[in-house]
Amino acid sequence: MTLANKITVLRIIAIPLFVIALLEGHLGWARWIFILSIFSDALDGTIARIRGERTPLGSFLDPLADKLLLVAAFITFAYLAWIPVWVFIAVLSRDMLIIMGWSIVYILTGNSKIEPRLLGKITTALQMTVALFKLVNVSSPLYHLTLHIMIAATILSACDYVWVGNQRLGAVA
């Protein structure tokens, strides 16, 4: 297993610690775990590129780690009533749509290649920013502006992934 993949696995292992810290009221620990997770997300990709160690496992695990962290964060925020439940549902729905779409494309075409989209990367960055803003209590106007931009990007990204999935399936039919 490459160094980058080991960092990604550690990021996945840290997710339950982040949730427990939030639920137990250890906000300082939760903040640090989340910030380190965001940092390690950038670090593992940089290491993979610099060392020439891009792998199929890494291209699968890295976005999975992002999705798991963000879904865990938003479901915990909703449980703690820090965000409206519909925000969590929007984040979860997009991720479930992506996973289901990937599964359908894989079943019908045998192609398991995961190709991140620019809008998808922007959406993930916005979701991480909103979660971080919530954790560090960023002022309400800036938080709400970022939240609304994130929701719009989440919806647009879901539509983009559906469109791309249809194109990939149309090329097979």
Span 101-136, pLDDT tens digits: 888 888 888 877 777 889 999 999 999 999 999 999
Q: What is the per-residue pLDDT across 54-96, written as a single tens digit (0 to 9) for each?
A: 888 888 899 899 999 999 999 999 999 999 999 999 999 999 9
Please state, in angstroms and rounded to a whole number, the distance separating the CA atoms of residues 160 and 154: 10
Q: What is the pTM of this model?
A: 0.91
Q: What is the pLDDT of residue 151?
A: 97
pLDDT of residue 172 exceeding 70: no
Please state, in angstroms and rounded to a whole number, the distance separating the CA atoms of residues 7 and 62: 10
Whether residue 15 contacts residue 131, with contact meaning beta carbons closer than 8 Å, is answered with no
Which residue in 73, 165, 154 sits closest to 114, CA to CA? 165
Average pLDDT over all residues of the chain? 92
